[in-house]
Amino acid sequence: MNARLPPHTITKMVDEQAHEFRVATAAYRGPEVFAQEMEQIFYKTWIYLCHESEIAKPGDFKSTQIGTRPVIVTRGREGGIHALLNACTHRGATICREEKGNTRAFVCPYHGWSFRTSGELIGIPDDARYPEGFNKSDKNLKSVPRVAAYGGLVFGSFNPDVEPLETFLGGAKQHIDLWLKRTAGSTYRVATSHKYGFDGNWKFQAENVYDGYHPGFVHRSAFNTVRKFEGSFENRELHAAVRQQGYTRGYPEGHGTLEAGAPLESGGIDPAVRDAYNTQLKTLYGEDGAAEVLTNRQFLIFPNLTIFDFNIRVIQPIAHDRTEVYSYPLMIDGAHDEINANRMLDAQTRVGTAGILSADDIDVFAGGQNALRTEAFEWITLSRGLGKEEVKPDGERVGVYSDEAPQRAFWRKWRALMAAAA
Ligand code: FES
Ligand SMILES: [Fe+2]
């Protein structure tokens, strides 16, 4: 592992004063900070692995990663969820090369060792050539020590002493609960992901998720195009360049949200279908409850899980200047076809890889990384709304739509974890 940056160096990178909140550009630059982020953040806290619907049946599996470590998440024969390091215990080959599927066992492509979906070693070809006393029992696939789920979201942690998942989720839990209520008592089913990558730091994407300041600028041409057509976005997007209506929230646990001030219409659906859905929500949660559920909301579970109303995005760090993003459309089990078709359309055309918004943002991230390559440029500022936000007793901070409250919450948590004892 690279030499650790000492706590005082880290602490100085996130500089919070009454009049300004700034972050050193060094925090986005270079392999040292990135290596420390893997050790101190990605291998210390809870990281999202998959949605339960992706591994619904015994034998189902999905390949993913925790930080840069490759991981397979599986549904064991007994029904439990396992998270395993995707590395053969013989000589380290990648054991599972598929993104997802269903299997009775994983067979290593190199020399054919085989493992149950729980990770247990079950076969070594020609094992008679191994010495007397060769210990097979410690050759199971290495397990990620902690796995837990909340609301269908499965998380894993390499830290055996990690805090309980619900403590980690903290203030974000209420937003997950509201997001779940959109299913009107059903459950989500995630569809196959869209993917994109960009030559920039993973934190650019994280900071963008709840950035209510940028849409009227970077996405202006996209919005103008949409307005020309009687499309489904007409009532959804901003009409003012900088918007105050709505909220940003930052939590002490590092999570944050962006919420529109009023429920947004789901444009493309047959009004009768939409009304029936709205009525169903009102019956379940009351008039005000339904309005809260339908408020457009996008949030980040620190450090790299994004939840939108219609999709989940997972930000995978590859290197300090390379990031991959997986965007999963969210279907509602048992909902009217029109509702799910509209959800898929939204995921494809708005926030998906080829959507009208993502390309604009990715272009900015890559350009930002380029600018940060120069050490002559020392600080970026995240001071919008600082000191003007409402601070609640539990540490939640609430700003208006275009404030940088959630980004500040992210960086405070980043600083605390990065400067903590190894
Ligand atoms: S590396 Fe997997 S069987 Fe040899
Ligand atoms: Fe954007």
Task: Give per-residue pLDDT as tens, 190-199.
Answer: 999 999 999 9
Q: How far apart are CA 384 and CA 244, in angstroms?
A: 12
pLDDT of residue 378: 93
> Counting ligands in written order, which one lies closest to the CA of residue 90?
1
- Asked if residue 323 has pLDDT above 80, the reply is yes
- Asked if residue 301 has pLDDT above 80, the reply is yes
Q: How confident is the model at residue 358 (pLDDT cuts 50, 70, 90)?
A: confident
Q: Tell me how far the alpha carbon of residue 93 lies from the centroid of ligand 1, in angstroms.
A: 6
Beta bridge partners of 305: 301, 314
pLDDT of residue 238: 46
Q: Tell me how far the alpha carbon of residue 132 lies from the centroid of ligand 1, in angstroms.
A: 20
What would the mean pLDDT of 290-298 be, rounded to a whole number? 91
> Counting ligands in written order, which one lies closest to the CA of residue 357?
2
**Which residue's CA lies nearest to atom 3 of ligand 1?**
111
Q: Percentage helix, strand, coil, to 5, in the chain?
A: 30, 25, 40
In testing the pocket of ligand 1, which one of 110, 114, 142 has its CB within 8 Å of the most ligand atoms? 110
Q: Tell me how far the alpha carbon of residue 210 lies from the centroid of ligand 2, in angstroms.
A: 9
What would the mean pLDDT of 126-150 be, rounded to a whole number? 96
For ligand 2, a single-atom ion, which residues have Cβ within 5 Å? 357, 361
Q: How confident is the model at residue 1 (pLDDT cuts 50, 70, 90)?
A: low
- Asked if residue 233 has pLDDT above 50, the reply is no
* Structural tokens at position 263: 């429920």
pLDDT of residue 235: 47
- Asked if residue 47 has pLDDT above 50, the reply is yes
In testing the pocket of ligand 1, which one of 72, 90, 107, 126 has its CB within 8 Å of the most ligand atoms? 90
Expressed in angstroms, the distance from the first to the final Cα of the chain is 12
Q: How confident is the model at residue 266 (pLDDT cuts 50, 70, 90)?
A: low
> How far are the Cα atoms of 98, 124, 355, 381 from residue 28, in angstroms, in the given order?
31, 45, 26, 13
Q: Tell me how far the alpha carbon of residue 248 lies from the centroid of ligand 2, in angstroms.
A: 15
The DSSP secondary structure of 22-40, one letter per residue, reads EEEGGGGSSHHHHHHHIII
Atom of ligand 1 nearest to the CA of 124: 3
Q: Which residue has the tokens 């609640």?
A: 392
Residue in 164, 158, 156, 178 with CA at minimum distance from that of residue 55: 156
Q: How confident is the model at residue 237 (pLDDT cuts 50, 70, 90)?
A: very low
pLDDT of residue 231: 52
pLDDT of residue 315: 98
Ligand 1 touching residue 88 (CB < 6 A)? yes
Residue in 109, 117, 27, 116 with CA at minimum distance from that of residue 81: 117
Q: Tell me how far the alpha carbon of residue 130 lies from the centroid of ligand 1, in angstroms.
A: 14
Q: How confident is the model at residue 261 (pLDDT cuts 50, 70, 90)?
A: low
To the nearest whole percent, how much of the chain has pLDDT over 70? Answer: 94
Residues 144-167, buried b or exposed e (16+ Cβ, 10 A)?
bebbbebebbbbbbbeeebeebee
Ligand 1 touching residue 110 (CB < 6 A)? yes
* Other CB atoms within 10 A of residue 19 CB: 7
Q: What is the mean pLDDT of the chain?
A: 92
- Asked if residue 102 has pLDDT above 60, the reply is yes
- Asked if residue 420 has pLDDT above 60, the reply is yes
Helix (H) / strand (E) element for 298: namely strand 295-301
pLDDT of residue 410: 98
Q: Tell me how far the alpha carbon of residue 236 lies from the centroid of ligand 2, in angstroms.
A: 14
Q: Tens digits of per-residue pLDDT, 51-74?
A: 999 999 999 999 999 999 999 999
pLDDT of residue 2: 59
What would the mean pLDDT of 234-244 be, rounded to a whole number? 57
What would the mean pLDDT of 83-110 be, rounded to a whole number? 97
Q: How far apart are CA 249 and CA 406, in angstroms?
A: 5
Q: Tell me how far the alpha carbon of residue 146 lies from the centroid of ligand 2, in angstroms.
A: 34
Ligand 1 touching residue 123 (CB < 6 A)? no
* Structural tokens at position 46: 């809870």
To the nearest whole percent, how much of the chain has pLDDT over 90? Answer: 77
Helix (H) / strand (E) element for 342: namely helix 337-346
Ligand 1 touching residue 113 (CB < 6 A)? yes
Q: Tell me how far the alpha carbon of residue 386 lies from the centroid of ligand 1, in angstroms.
A: 54
Ligand 1 touching residue 93 (CB < 6 A)? yes
Phi then psi dihedrals of residue 100, to 5 deg: -160, 165
Q: How far apart are CA 387 and CA 384, in angstroms?
A: 9
Q: How far apart are CA 409 and CA 65, in angstroms?
A: 24
Ligand 1 touching residue 106 (CB < 6 A)? no
Stretch among 136-140, 406-410, 418-422 having the lowest mean pLDDT: 418-422
* Other CB atoms within 10 A of residue 78 CB: 9
Atom of ligand 1 nearest to the CA of 95: 2
**Which residue's CA lies nearest to atom 1 of ligand 1?**
91
* Structural tokens at position 70: 């490759």
Ligand 1 touching residue 139 (CB < 6 A)? no
- Asked if residue 351 has pLDDT above 90, the reply is no
User: Is residue 35 classed as helix, strand or coil in its secondary structure?
Assistant: helix
Q: How far apart are CA 237 and CA 226, in angstroms?
A: 10
pLDDT of residue 132: 95
